[in-house]
Structure 1
Amino acid sequence: MAPRLLELADELRAEGMAVGTSELLDCFRALEAVSWTDRTGFLEALSATLAKSQEDRRVLELVFDRFFFRATEREAVEHGVREEDARAASDAGERMDLDELREAIRSALASPDPSDGEMRDLARLAIAAFGRQGEGSGVIGVDVQRIRRTLGLKGESQQVAEQADPDPEAVPREALREFERHVRRELERALIERTRSLPPARPLNELDRALPTGAAQDLADVHRVVAQLRRRLATQGRQSRGRSRTSVVDVRATMRQSLSTGGVPVDLRYRPKRP
């Protein structure tokens, strides 16, 4: 366990957390009083000794999930372990009606305390049903959002308590984010089993990124970003004069390139200048 904790400390430092020798020594002493099979107690012991602020705690929780998930999958790849439960869920998802699955997921997300096992099973069923329709893109971030849209899942507005008629189909935002996390994990696990290798670890700023789930302020943020992109496109047209490319954006090439960044058009592609 000690080498794994040192690796975890290195990843925390890479994400900007200040983790020194004294914090690690305190962490080792605190973990002596906690069972490693108790995930909540284990994480709380790490938070109490390593995190110095709420932001540090948020970073620790995200890195904790990413690190131990990859450590578990690395051991599974090295020992050739495969999950039979995932295959059973895939078979069940292929037989399950999409409307029935949608209602089961909404019911689970609306419950006050859904279990991790139930959320994981529903995520596997959703992936199996999604794959049955042949809509997989091969990009995990894109597939997560496509699955959410296919199931018609949307989060409650933060002003839901003030609304006279709240949307009956909306689910709690935190529960929806947790479900998306399980879907992402199962897609990553399926990719690892298929390729028999671990993909490179994603930076935390990408791991913590999520598309809007329906709130008005999220939509306002989208409109603001679109306005910034519009201004950027207008100025880049003037900067590219006299160069080998035109100021006309190649939409098809730009969207194809955006698959490498989770569907976000970061790198714009332009049409070549015709002689």
Structure 2
Amino acid sequence: MSRTRSAGPVSTTTGSQNTMPSHQTSQPLEPVLQKPIVKIALKLLRQLRPNIAQLHIDSQNWTQLHITCSKLDLSWKSENGGDFLRLKTPQQMQQIASQYGFDHVSDPSRDPDHPFHDSRHMADHLNRHLFAISHDAYLVDCSRWICQHPDGLMARKLGYYPADCQWKVDYILDVKDASLPHTNCTLIEAGKLEENKLMFSEVWSILMLTLNCLRNPQKERYEVVPVTVVTISGPTFRIVQGYIDGKTGSVNIRKSGIVPIGSDKKTMKEQMMLLVRWLIAEPVWPSRH
């Protein structure tokens, strides 16, 4: 791991190609700490902890850490949000934007003294869209998701603040009624995104949110916990989706390209619609795509 880009081009896919594990539960249910995905998450967190001050996880370290990484399609033509989300159509998002007044969402003022500066500014702007109101109801509350800040325990585990390497998970979205283990989140990152590297915060958040999901007794039975991360870094963003494969011991990640957030109102609105599209998407299992 390092703060500098490794020399030469790097493939975005490493390790062997794994088949998607079944999400079916094992019988009888194992104690949570004995579940393979929990053991894998805890082991990798212990490996990563000494490097918590690092910005990135370089591609040459992915194999050593049993991480595979491939591409994630952010295009509007795709109906699938990776392997685990069903996205709303562009027409549906246009209707939502009209109903919830996206054209009238005000741009929050920037605070140059805030440790996250533009990242925090862009996250606040996204939050104003997620919590836009129509008929006295928030947009996100009308979706399949419950959206809230990390609780006291997780807030301490989902952020890092010293020096120039600040990051934190801002909001966690869990499926209502604990009917599925899927988790979405928004991640505010002060470090700069790089195409051929994963942010330390992205991998850490996937692992920690997997454990957080299984804290819920209603979700203990699940063998796969899909985590989708919207990473906001300055005036840029990308989306990362990952899960732990309990059979192979790997963390399988897909990441989009880095998208600059347009400064003009029309482009910014379209990009906020894109992010909202992913965050309130329908959670599904791969067999239902």
Please, what TM-score do these two structures have when normalized by structure 1? Answer: 0.31
Q: Which has the higher contact order (CA 8 A, sep 6+)?
A: 2
**Normalized against structure 2, the TM-score is what?**
0.30
Structure having the higher helix fraction is 1
Q: Which has the larger radius of gyration?
A: 1
